[in-house]
Structure formats: C-alpha cells, structure tokens
A and B are shown apart, each in its own frame.
Chain A
Amino acid sequence: MSSFSSCAHALASCFGKVGPALISVGTLVLAWELYARFSGISPTTLPAPSRVLAQAMQHRQALFDNTLPTIRATLFGFACSLVAAFVFSVLIDFFRPLRRALFPVFIISQTLPLIAIAPLVVLWFGFGLAPKIMLVALVTFFPMLVALAQGYEATDADIQSLLASMGASRLKIFRLARLPSALPYFFAGLRISITYAVVGAIFAEYAGAAKGLGIYILNAKNNFRPDLVLAAVLVSASLTLVLFGLTLLVQRLVMPWDRLGERRRP
C-alpha cells in the first residue's frame, strides 16, 4: 500500500514538472489540428498534425535512412568542434597574445552567413561527409570556445592563490582548478551548441548531399509535400531533444556535486 502511494506520489511530482510543458504543447498541436480541419485550407498548404504523423509512419523507412547521415554529420562535426575548441581554449589561456591574434578571426567566422557559405563549402569539398563536418564545426566552434574561455576565467581567485601558495605550477593550477571550474560553463555551451549542430548539419545537406534530412526536406518541398517536410522537421526536432537530454545526463554524471547546492535551497 505504501509502495503504491509512494509510486503515485512520484508520478504526481513527475507530472508536476513536465505537466505544464505537455499542456502548452498539446494546446498548440490541438489548435493547429482544428484549424487545418475546419478552415478549409488545402493539405498541400498546411497539413494537419494527424496527417503529418500518418505520413511519417508511412515513410518511416525513408525517414530513417535519411536520419542516419544527419546524425553522423552532427556527431562527427560536433566532436571535431569540441576537440578544436578545447585545444584553442587551452592555448589561448596559456598564451594571452594568441587570444588577441585569434579572436578576431573566430568572430569573423561567426559573421559569415551560412546560406552563402554552405553551397561554397559543398562546391569545394563535394557531397561527402567532409563539408557537413566543416559546417557543423563552423557554427558550434565559437560558442564552445567562448564558453570554455569564460569558464577558465571564472575560477575562484582564492583557490588559485591557495594552489600557488602550495607551490603548484601553472599547469597544475590549470588542471586542478581552472579546468574543473570551467565545467558548468562548458555544459551550458554544450546545450546551446548541440542544437546549432543539428541545424548546421541539416543546412549543409540542404546545400547538397546524397542523403540526409536536409536533402529529404528539399526534395519533399520540391514535390509539394509539406506533410513530408514537417515529418522530417519532427524527426530533426526529436533528434535535437534527445541530444539535448543526453547533454543533461552527461552533466549529471560528470558533475555530481552540481546539484547539491540546489537541494539545500528550499
């Protein structure tokens, strides 16, 4: 009996957290469904959510085949971007003049409109994985670099001078204090960048690819199938949400101390 009530209690508290989100999303979808059904609008202009879902189920094999390359481009591109951002953040942290030399270049890289750059990168590097990786890295590198650099700077000055008083070298201070201090910033950057990464990969495919959600969307649009466009959008949104959730999970595993402060607050 008590296990049942505690289970019910857990369910209730779980619903308390996700309930409001479910209600707001549900209301939006319902409004869309009603409008699409009763306004007399053509399904080739605005398909109802139920139709999008039905078409997604019907074309699930094609959607699946086109999602895999997108996942691959996202993850490879993001991994490259993370490695590069980490290496440059460390270099910049240890050699200050490098920061002044490199930051303008990175900022300029962020001003390039993706819509102009993507076709060029595809033109230069072909329809394979390479241009996708480059474009994903291009949109995610700078946010990650800034997050890391800011994280190092956020290190508690008392901890650093304590380590210095213990005779720690600069490298040791970095490893023992600056690097762990940057973790919350790193994960904040990760959550933002992972959403950019999916969008970047789809855009790269849109500009030219053999397979992928981006090219799937382009083809569906050209065939006047907005239902399939939206089905692909649904898949990419789900993919982004899953990746976002994964970053939260990893953060919990890597930073178990992070939630302790929260629990003490009323």
Chain B
Amino acid sequence: MRLELRQLAKRFDGLDVLADISLHVDAGEFVSILGPSGAGKSTIFKLLTGGLDADSGEILLNGAPPAGGKKPFAFMPQHDALMPWRRIIDNATLGLEVQGFSRRAARECVAPLFAEFGLDGFERHYPAQLSGGMRQRAALLRTVVQQRDMLLLDEPFGALDALTRAAMQRWLMKMWQRHRWTALLVTHDVREAVFLSDRIYVLSARPARVVSEITVTLPRPRLGLTSPEASAIESRLLQILLTPQSC
C-alpha cells in the first residue's frame, strides 16, 4: 500500500501544530519522521488513525481518500500500553479480538510468533513480570499480528534505557529485513532514524513542516554505525535540526 499525505495542516485552539506536511510511503518501505520534541509528530499519527481530523490537506491511500471499514494502520504507541491485567498472549491478541476473533482463535494465530519475538515461554506471564525490552517486543507483536497494510511506530523505543534501545533497534532491523513491513516511524533520535530507515523526513519545530527529505542508501544490515557514510548523514540531519528556521 502507498500512503501519501498532501499539505496536511492542524490547529489546536489557535495554535498551529502542523503547518504543511507532505510525504509519502511506498509499499515495503521504512520511512521515518524526524523532528524536535513537541513538533507534532504524534499528531500526524492521530490524523492517520482517526483520532483527529485535519483542518486541511489530504490523506491518500493508493491514490484515493481512505474508505470506511477495515483500517489500514496498526499503531504502536510510545509507552507499550500493555494491559497489566492481561497475560502477554492476551495482550498480543488484543487487536484480533477487537476485530471480532474469538479469544481462542486469536491465541492460535499469535502463539506461533512468540519464538520469533523472543517471548517464548512468557505467554502466560503478566506485563509486570517482563523487562522493558520484552514489553516493547510484546507491543510490536500486538501491532504486527493485526495484519494491517502499514505499521505506525510512535517513538517505540523512547522509554527504554540506551543499551536496551540499541539492542531493540538491531532486533527491529532484523525483523524488518525478514518481513519487509511498510512502516512509518516517528522519532527524535537521529541515529535511530539513520539506522532503520530507507528515507527520512525532517520536520521543523512547531508549526511543523517538512524541511528536508533524505534518502538513506546504506546497505543493510547497518551494524557498522560508525561508517563514514552513516556519520555524514547523521551530521547533516543534526545540522538541519539544530539550525533555527525562520517560518
């Protein structure tokens, strides 16, 4: 599925949050939206998942406005949002249950994936018994089993410690190489964006507009983070982000 946003704008109580957001994500592509904190990155996701309506601009799916019915996005929030009262397997099946699967059928769908997500043997545990990294993997499992056309990842590793975050980024890259999900990632971590993405959109501070689009052609797996090419892209991104824009 191809997603295209055309000149999206959104105001809250007279405060311009999104000024001009135009971007696209092609099928099988991993695209990041990189921007300073409070730039309205999460607002873009709310417009996509239907929590909010844009004041102007268009959202196009395969060239057409989104139709009612099955939603094309699976959303993964910044904090894992696992339900503490559900076992991990029942957290993973949440999206399927909302779609109307019986609990049993949903469990059968999800159970074979636990090993791949490094959660083997933790099906019957509660979220409070898992480490931060495992919880985040469980949250990603809950996201991908919904079988939507596109993943929306809202700073998925933002709440983790630095070491766990680095491990999770490597893990996510491996998983993505295997499954080639179409994914849109929101982050303020420059290195994470370079590490994971095919393309990166850089947003300005509020009111947010796309100030730059950078294609990352580095070969995967990108384990040599210190390669001169990666460093060059990182410093270019930082320069864009740290230069004050007059708009």
- Using a CB–CB cutoff of 8 Å, the interface residues on chain A facing chain B are 156, 158-159, 161-168, 172, 176-177, 180, 183, 255-257, 260-261, 264
- DSSP majority for the A interface? helix
Are A166 and B79 in contact (CB-based, < 8 A)?
Answer: no
Are A260 and B126 in contact (CB-based, < 8 A)?
Answer: yes
Alpha-carbon separation in the docked complex, A180 to B90 (Å): 14
Are B77 and A260 in contact (CB-based, < 8 A)?
Answer: no
Within 8 Å CB of A183, what residues of B? Answer: 85
Which one of A166, A257, A261, A264 has the highest number of Cβ atoms from chain B below 10 Å of its Cβ?
A: A166
Are B128 and A165 in contact (CB-based, < 8 A)?
Answer: no
- A177 shortest CB reach to chain B, Å: 7
A166 partner, pick from B84, B95, B127, beta carbons under 8 A: B95
Are A257 and B98 in contact (CB-based, < 8 A)?
Answer: no
A257 and B99 in contact, given A162-B77, A180-B85 (Cβ under 8 angstroms): no
Are B77 and A163 in contact (CB-based, < 8 A)?
Answer: no
Alpha-carbon separation in the docked complex, A164 to B73 (Å): 12
Does B50 sit at the interface, judged by CB under 8 A? yes
Alpha-carbon separation in the docked complex, A171 to B9 (Å): 31
A177 and B83 in contact, given A161-B77, A162-B77 (Cβ under 8 angstroms): yes
A260 and B128 in contact, given A159-B81, A165-B75 (Cβ under 8 angstroms): yes
A165 and B85 in contact, given A257-B126, A260-B128, A261-B128 (Cβ under 8 angstroms): no
Are B146 and A166 in contact (CB-based, < 8 A)?
Answer: yes
Chain B interface residue count, CB cutoff 8 Å, equals 26
26 contacts across the A-B interface (CB closer than 8 A)? A158-B77, A161-B49, A161-B77, A162-B77, A162-B81, A162-B94, A163-B94, A163-B98, A165-B51, A165-B73, A165-B75, A166-B74, A166-B75, A166-B94, A166-B98, A176-B83, A176-B94, A176-B97, A177-B83, A256-B126, A257-B84, A257-B85, A260-B126, A260-B129, A264-B128, A264-B129
Nearest-neighbor residue (CB-CB) of B46 within chain A: A161
Are B128 and A167 in contact (CB-based, < 8 A)?
Answer: no
Are B81 and A164 in contact (CB-based, < 8 A)?
Answer: no
Within 8 Å CB of B79, what residues of A? Answer: 158
- B135 shortest CB reach to chain A, Å: 13
Nearest-neighbor residue (CB-CB) of A157 within chain B: B81
B98 partner, pick from A156, A159, A161, A168, beta carbons under 8 A: A168
Alpha-carbon separation in the docked complex, A165 to B70 (Å): 11
Are A257 and B128 in contact (CB-based, < 8 A)?
Answer: yes
Alpha-carbon separation in the docked complex, A264 to B129 (Å): 8
Are B98 and A172 in contact (CB-based, < 8 A)?
Answer: yes
Does B71 sit at the interface, judged by CB under 8 A? yes
B83 partner, pick from A159, A161, A166, A255, beta carbons under 8 A: A159
The residues in B between 52 and 83 inclusive whose CB is less than 8 angstroms from any CB of A are 70-71, 73-75, 77-79, 81, 83
The 3 A-B pairs of least Cβ separation, nearest first, read A165-B49, A260-B128, A165-B75
Within 8 Å CB of A161, what residues of B? Answer: 46, 49, 51, 77
Within 8 Å CB of A255, what residues of B? Answer: 85
Within 8 Å CB of B51, what residues of A? Answer: 161, 164-165
The residues in B between 22 and 53 inclusive whose CB is less than 8 angstroms from any CB of A are 46, 49-51
Nearest-neighbor residue (CB-CB) of B146 within chain A: A166
A162 partner, pick from B75, B85, B99, B129, beta carbons under 8 A: B75
Within 8 Å CB of A172, what residues of B? Answer: 98
Which one of B71, B85, B95 has the highest number of Cβ atoms from chain A below 10 Å of its Cβ?
A: B85
Within 8 Å CB of A158, what residues of B? Answer: 77-79, 81
A156 and B94 in contact, given A165-B49, A257-B128, A260-B126 (Cβ under 8 angstroms): no
